[in-house]
Amino acid sequence: MKTNLFLCLLLAVLQSAFLANADSMKQKRGGGDTSTIDLFAGLKLQQAQYMTDKSNSPGFTTENGAPSSGYFNIQRAGQDGPLLIQSTQMLDSLAHFVRERIPERIVHARGWGAWGKFEVTTDFAEKYSFAPAFKKGAVHPILMRFSTVGGQSGSPDAARDPRGFAIKIKTKQGVLDWVFNNTPVFFIRNPLKFPVFIHTQKTNPQTNERDPNMVFDYLWQNPEASMQFMRLFSDLGTPYGARHMNGWSGHTYRLVKQDGSWVYVKVQLFTDQGIKNFTAAEATQIGGENQEWATKDLFDSIEAKQYPSWTVKFAVKTPEEGKKYRYNVNDLTKDWLDATWYEVGKMTLNQNPRNYFDEIESSHFSPSNMVPGWAPSEDPVLQSRLFSYNDAGRYRIGSNYNKLPVNCPFNTVGNYDRSGVMPVTGDYGNQPIYPSSAGTYKPASKDETVAPLIKLYNNATIETYVGEATDIDYEQPRYFYQHLSANDKKNLHSNFAGAMSKVTQPNVVSNVIKMFNKIDPNLAKGVTAAIAAAKKG
């Protein structure tokens, strides 16, 4: 696995070399002279050899590679004179410096991650999906990135927040991204609520402080969020780093068989290190002492060869079971409380990034990165995410985000998308930019790319989807609450009170308490008492 990145780079180089020789695919060029392309490909190979030659110690140079006699050389008009504009070493360095940042992710900006492998250890997934990637014995390189959701890239790792649990699986049929969280459910089931919900978790537009008024005013008006709020304000909302938490797909997806039949699937990654949370007091202390605590915890454990791992399990429902289930299987605010989880494989992290920016900040994940045999459900939130992530990639990194070594697939990409900002892999050389009759990429067979057969039950009229809360939305939070130990309940009450005692907007606390009363009267009483205690100090 140590060679992951190098392989990706080499792939780019070999691809150019391959292109130079792929006569059958050549576009007709004016004079028929291909020597410049051959020379260019040769140069890239030379460069790759040069970069990996350990005996070659690089000298200090300017940005164009010319030798420079000093780190801080500037040219001046005389000893005390003004600087000359021909001080290009300084101009380039200062210009590069102010461009060191790319836009941070609008959510999940604070992250940490590592490389590893996904081993498929059972034949469970094979029974439901024709994906070669899920065949027993398959091993895939992976990248995992963990994150908090609301904070900026410099915010404390230990914040009370869900944790992102993003996994890039580099299979031989393309990249499969599992863009999961450490929670089985989410705050919303209508994707149009995502931007406003996220606003309430970020800072107040005037004070630039996080604002419990917005947080709790959102909660009582959107009770379908209550299950996720219960988890968030329990000690599960402050996990002990990345190694001691589970990951969940949240959404249902589809596993597809060769004949187009399918089942709904949810994925859960069970930590082999055991669940550990911080109490609110511990999280506050750790967050204050070391902002990058979870980053350090993951990095240090991998350096010490204590490789964290997760057991990957699937739970499935047939379409008929899905229809009969008490909760809508495409409602992201609902868990499958009756699920049986079947082991599929193991994920192990065993290599730290060599460069954070190149391998973690520049990584890009998307639920729309899917492989044959794996398909989305009709969950509206998932459907909207199929658009939003690649849109974010194009904005944050540029149109060629998928060609960066960290993001590119191992297999060769063949299509007609070309050029754009930073075409880092040679822009496919002289291969045709349209389906040329003289030779082009060979499409896969229908057998290799079977899509799920989905029956549409409704007439093709335009439906307005709102997804307003009803009584059924209180059942799972009630179940969660009633299964907590007395001590966990106490912590939940006081964690809520810690934030709610700072609410100043009229009627917000009383409306939240009214809603808590529908979940369980003891929750309403417990939080009310804890708020009174917090206010007394």
Ligand X SMILES: *[C@@H]1O[C@H](CO)[C@@H](O)[C@H](O)[C@H]1NC(C)=O
What DSSP character marks residue 357? I
From the list 4, 108, 222, 364, the catalytic residue is 108
Burial of residue 537, with CB atoms counted within 10 A of its CB: 0-12 exposed, 13-18 middle, 19 or more buried = exposed
What residue 45 binds from ligand HEM, ligand X, none (CB within 5 to 8 A, per partner kind)?
none
CB 153 within 8 A of CB 104: yes
Are the C-beta atoms of 343 and 163 separated by less than 8 Å? no
Kindly state the smallest distance separating residue 239's Cβ from ligand X, in Å: 8
Q: How far is the CB of 213 from ligand X (least distance, A)?
A: 25
Measure the CA–CA gap between 372 and 137, rounded to whole angstroms: 18
* 47 Cβ contact partners less than 8 Å away, ≥ 6 residues apart: 13
Here the tokens at position 7 are 């392989």
- Residue 433 CB, nearest distance to ligand X (Å)? 45
Q: Which does 90 bind (CB under 5 to 8 A by kind): ligand X, ligand HEM, none?
A: none
Q: Which is nearer to ligand HEM, 424 or 524 (CB)?
A: 424
Binding interface with ligand X (CB under 6 A): 234-236, 275-277, 457-459, 484, 488, 491
Q: In DSSP terms, which residues pair with 169 in a beta bridge?
A: 142, 176
Binding partner of residue 275 among ligand HEM, ligand X, none, CB cut-off 5 to 8 Å per kind: ligand X
For strands 253-256 and 247-248, give the pairing.
unpaired
With CB cut-offs between 5 and 8 Å by kind, which of ligand HEM, ligand X, none does residue 488 bind?
A: ligand X
Q: How far is the CB of 384 from ligand HEM (least distance, A)?
A: 5
The region of 46-54, 74-82, 272-280, 389-397 touching ligand HEM under the rule CB under 6 A is 389-397
Residues 71 and 247: their CA atoms lie apart, in Å, by: 47
- Residue 134-153 contact track with ligand HEM, rule CB under 6 A, x = bound: -----------x-x------
Q: Quick one: three-class SS letters along 428-445?
A: HCCCCCCCCCCCCCCCCC
Using the contact rule CB under 6 A, the part of the chain among 160-168, 222-230, 343-351, 465-473 near ligand HEM is 160-168
Q: Does 372 bind ligand HEM (CB under 6 A)?
A: no
* Spatial distance between the Cα atoms of 437 and 91, rounded to a whole number of angstroms: 49
CB 397, min distance to ligand HEM, A: 8
* C-alpha pair distances (Å), 457 with each of 209, 213, 323, 460, 461: 47, 42, 12, 9, 11
- The partner in contact with residue 194, picked from ligand X, ligand HEM, none with C-beta cut-offs of 5 to 8 angstroms by kind, is ligand HEM
Residue ranges of alpha helices (H) inside 134-279 are 194-201, 212-221, 226-233
User: What is the token pair recorded at 298?
Assistant: 């993951």
By beta-carbon distance, which residue lies closest to ligand HEM? Answer: 164
108 is catalytic: yes
Residues 322-351 that bind ligand HEM (CB under 6 A): 332
C-alpha span between 282 and 28 (Å, rounded): 68
Q: Is 307 annotated as a binding residue?
A: no
Among 140, 231, 243, 385, binds ligand HEM (CB under 6 A): 385
Of residues 308, 243, 315, the one with CA closest to residue 275: 243
CA distance 169 to 85: 49
For ligand HEM, the binding residues in 391-430 under the rule CB under 6 A are 392-393, 396
Binding mask 349-368 toward ligand HEM (x if CB under 6 A, else -) reads --------------xxx---
Type of residue numbered 12: A
Which CB sits closer to ligand HEM, 143 or 519? Answer: 143
Picked from ligand HEM, ligand X, none, the partner binding residue 458 (CB below 5 to 8 A depending on kind) is ligand X
- Would you say 4 or 501 has its CB closer to ligand HEM? 4
DSSP-derived 3-state class of residue 346: strand
Distance between alpha carbon 339 and the CA centroid of its chain, in Å?
25
Residue among 4, 181, 222, 491 flagged as catalytic: 181
Contact 405, 12 (CB under 8 A): yes
Active site residue 181: yes
Q: Which of 166, 370, 508, 513 binds ligand HEM (CB under 6 A)?
A: 166
Assess 294 for contact with ligand HEM (CB under 6 A): no
- Give the whole-angstrom CA distance, residue 271 versus residue 246: 5
Element (H, E) at 386: helix 380-396
**Binding region for ligand HEM (CB under 6 A):** 105-108, 111, 145, 147, 164-166, 179-181, 186, 191, 194, 250, 332, 363-365, 381, 384-385, 388-389, 392-393, 396
Q: Give me the active site residues, please.
A: 108, 181
Annotated binding residues for heme: 389
| Binding-site residues | 389
